Amino acid sequence: MIIIINKKRIFVTVVVCIIIFATIFFAFFNFRTEYVFSVPNSKYTVVVDAGHGGIDGGCVGSTTGVFESELNLAYAYNLAKQLQNMNISVVLTRTDSNGLYETGVSNLKRSDMKKRREIIENVSPDLIVSLHMNSYSLKSCQGAQAFYKKGNECGEMLATYVQTQMYNMLGNAKKTAQVGDYYLVTCTDIPSVLVECGFLSNVEEELLLQKKSYQDKVCYAILCGVVEFLNEKTILNEELL
């Protein structure tokens, strides 16, 4: 028996198979992204912002050389998963190591911040948590610190709840939340908190911040503060009805 091979038909078949495989792959990838951070019929939505990214690595660890941007993203994913487990939907402003700035612009930082603000405005979340790492010339400085927008009572309440939880759980965290002139908390009236999770300039804390067990602890403290705030917000809204 003689088999005639139709090269054109084989080529078409291969192309079709590749298209089908690519479609299934991307559909699966998108499904997983939505599954991890979106909760059907969720009552609340939180924007979790991983500070810095791309060419803006933020501060750098004094001994290990770890970049702040790298840790911020790890903490953002950790917090997002913990929030999702509490039936809270999450939107991440940054999902990989890249910055959010546009190419070819003269001011990358301004472009990056503008994009983060656009994400927040499009989502209209119940609150915003921006995650960062701190650094200071005095190497002994340590401890997590929450910041809020001056004059924003809900933002202050959110930051106070988060700071109290960190103070109780982490031991070395600051005692009280502080006013902070940071773009992510001042660019909107939505309750927002910027959390400096610790000091990369402090040798002991730099190593601690890179441990998964400590990341879990910090994010859990933030989660508890967020849940406290949302419960209080719900009670206040019900009283106004």
Whether residue 32 is found in the same domain as residue 47: no
Residues linked to residue 132 through DSSP beta bridges, in sequence order: 196
Whether residue 114 is found in the same domain as residue 135: yes
Share of the chain above pLDDT 70, in %: 81
Whether residue 198 is found in the same domain as residue 223: yes
Whether residue 46 is found in the same domain as residue 30: no
Whether residue 109 is found in the same domain as residue 178: yes
Kindly state the tokens that stand for 22. 């690519």
Q: What tens digit of pLDDT does each residue of 137-151 get?
A: 999 999 999 999 999
**Lowest pLDDT segment from 22-26, 173-177, 196-200:** 22-26
**Lowest pLDDT segment from 13-17, 52-56, 204-208:** 13-17
**Lowest pLDDT segment from 27-31, 64-68, 87-91, 175-179:** 27-31
Whether residue 2 is found in the same domain as residue 103: no
Kindly state the tokens that stand for 192. 């927002």
Whether residue 97 is found in the same domain as residue 135: yes
Range of the domain at 4: 1-37
If you average pLDDT over residues 51-58, what whole number do you get?
96
Whether residue 22 is found in the same domain as residue 92: no
Number of domains in the chain: 2
Whether residue 67 is found in the same domain as residue 144: yes
Whether residue 17 is found in the same domain as residue 52: no
Q: In CATH, what number is assigned to the domain containing residue 131?
A: 3.40.630.40
Contact 195, 132 (CB under 8 A): yes
196 phi, psi to nearest 5 deg: -90, 105
Q: What tens digit of pLDDT does each residue of 63-91 get?
A: 999 999 999 999 999 999 999 999 999 99
Whether residue 50 is found in the same domain as residue 32: no
